[in-house]
């Protein structure tokens, strides 16, 4: 795969959505959850860590931006940056503790932490608004020298803003995934024991992955709060963590763009089907089972197969042991 293919694909998605879709909010959501899924993928697809705690960082981002745009006002860019910091710090804490265990025990720990965070958010009504959440989050326009440069009031105006942030974040994460660090993570995923035996400090590597994941997810949570105007308790629920995981897996853990595919698939399906059939989650559950059983490389893997079939490269598909689907 060429070096810039993924970035071009991401750009394509960003440019195509306003043309094909009616709802600016939905388009923004696709990018926002695309970011969250990428954060999850950094842990799952690259490091081999299945985390049920992504909702924690998403929620932290939402609450931070809510508080720093209403109660303790900060300029909006700073509020977003702070959301990344709290997401990253939360992930550092959860990660530092959860990493002490491996395999299933690690997964259960992330689950336990997610539940704890939910109940803390539920009871700390002073900070989080409890069941009600934090309301009336504004969308301040981007200003310079007193002039309004870019109002964010309409859905498509906000989309433009989200798209820009998304593309920058995508590019940065892509760099991380291709960096020395990203390559070392792949080794950790492949054979953790050997990675330790050849000199790598596993705890430090996993922790850094967690922090980056948490920061990106926090950013997504912040943008989400700005978009819907509230920081709801639901962001900290099990369902949010589950949803982000589902998007990541369905898209495919092979590369970062696949996560955007996953988020688009989930949200567009939800939007389209939920009006027709309230029980559309049934379909999603079945898709998840199908992917886990037969299509473990997700939608991206499916796309790759179809592409190769079209190109007539039958031989390439047969050998499943080739280097994991070009992580780049």
Chain contacts with other proteins (rule: CB under 8 A): 44, 48, 50, 97, 100-101, 103-105, 107-109, 111-113, 115-116, 119-120, 122-123, 175-176, 178-184, 186-187, 190-191, 193-202, 204-205, 208, 212, 238, 242, 245-246, 249, 279, 281-282, 284-289, 291-293, 296, 321-324
Between 156 and 200, name the residue whose CB sits nearer to other proteins.
200
Between 63 and 106, name the residue whose CB sits nearer to other proteins.
106
**Contact predicate 94/205, CB 8 Å:** no
Closest distance of CB 119 from other proteins, Å: 4
**Contact predicate 14/160, CB 8 Å:** no
Closest distance of CB 134 from other proteins, Å: 19
Q: What is the dihedral of CA 149, 25, 164, 325, to 10 degrees?
A: 180
Closest distance of CB 270 from other proteins, Å: 13
Q: How many Cα neighbours within 13 Å face the side chain of 328?
A: 11
Nearest to 235 by CA among 134, 89, 314, 91: 134
Q: Which long-range contacts (CB under 8 A, 24 or more apart) does 280-287 make?
A: 284/246, 287/250
Between 158 and 266, name the residue whose CB sits nearer to other proteins.
266
Closest distance of CB 156 from other proteins, Å: 33
| N-to-C CA span, the chain | 8
Structure tokens at 323: 């280097």
Closest distance of CB 263 from other proteins, Å: 16
Closest distance of CB 86 from other proteins, Å: 20
Question: 51: which residues sit within 8 A by CB, 6+ positions away?
Answer: 40, 43, 44, 98, 107, 110, 213, 241, 245
**Contact predicate 255/301, CB 8 Å:** no
Structure tokens at 269: 């399906």
Between 74 and 92, name the residue whose CB sits nearer to other proteins.
92
Structure tokens at 203: 């705890």
Between 24 and 262, name the residue whose CB sits nearer to other proteins.
262
Between 163 and 249, name the residue whose CB sits nearer to other proteins.
249
**Contact predicate 53/44, CB 8 Å:** no
Closest distance of CB 237 from other proteins, Å: 10
Between 149 and 198, name the residue whose CB sits nearer to other proteins.
198
Closest distance of CB 243 from other proteins, Å: 10
Between 242 and 271, name the residue whose CB sits nearer to other proteins.
242
Nearest to 61 by CA among 218, 216, 169, 166: 218
């Amino acid at each position: 795969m060429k070096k810039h293919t993924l970035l071009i694909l991401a750009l394509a998605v960003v440019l195509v959505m306003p043309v094909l879709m009616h709802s600016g909010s939905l388009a923004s959501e696709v990018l926002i959850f695309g970011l969250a899924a990428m954060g999850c993928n950094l842990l799952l697809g690259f490091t081999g860590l299945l985390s049920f705690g992504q909702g924690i960082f998403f929620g932290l981002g939402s609450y931070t931006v809510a508080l720093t745009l209403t109660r303790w006002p900060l300029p909006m860019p700073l509020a977003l940056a702070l959301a990344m910091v709290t997401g990253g710090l939360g992930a550092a804490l959860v990660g530092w503790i959860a990493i002490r265990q491996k395999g299933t025990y690690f997964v259960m720990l992330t689950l336990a932490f997610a539940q704890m965070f939910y109940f803390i958010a539920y009871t700390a009504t002073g900070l989080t608004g409890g069941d009600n959440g934090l309301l009336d989050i504004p969308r301040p326009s981007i200003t310079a020298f007193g002039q309004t440069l870019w109002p964010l009031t309409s859905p498509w105006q906000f989309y433009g803003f989200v798209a820009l942030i998304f593309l920058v974040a995508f590019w940065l994460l892509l760099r991380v995934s291709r960096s020395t660090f990203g390559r070392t993570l792949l080794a950790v995923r492949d054979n953790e024991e050997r990675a330790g035996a050849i000199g790598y400090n596993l705890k430090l590597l996993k922790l850094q992955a967690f922090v980056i994941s948490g920061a990106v997810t926090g950013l997504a949570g912040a943008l989400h709060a700005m978009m819907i105007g509230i920081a709801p308790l639901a962001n900290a629920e099990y369902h949010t963590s589950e949803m982000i995981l589902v998007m990541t897996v369905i898209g495919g853990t092979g590369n970062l763009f696949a996560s955007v595919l996953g988020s688009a698939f989930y949200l567009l399906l939800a939007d389209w089907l939920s009006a027709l059939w309230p029980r559309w989650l049934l379909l999603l559950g079945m898709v998840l089972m199908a992917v886990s059983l037969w299509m473990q490389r997700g939608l991206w893997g499916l796309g790759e197969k179809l592409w190769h079939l079209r190109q007539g490269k039958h031989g390439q598909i047969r050998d499943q042991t080739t280097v994991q689907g070009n992580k780049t």
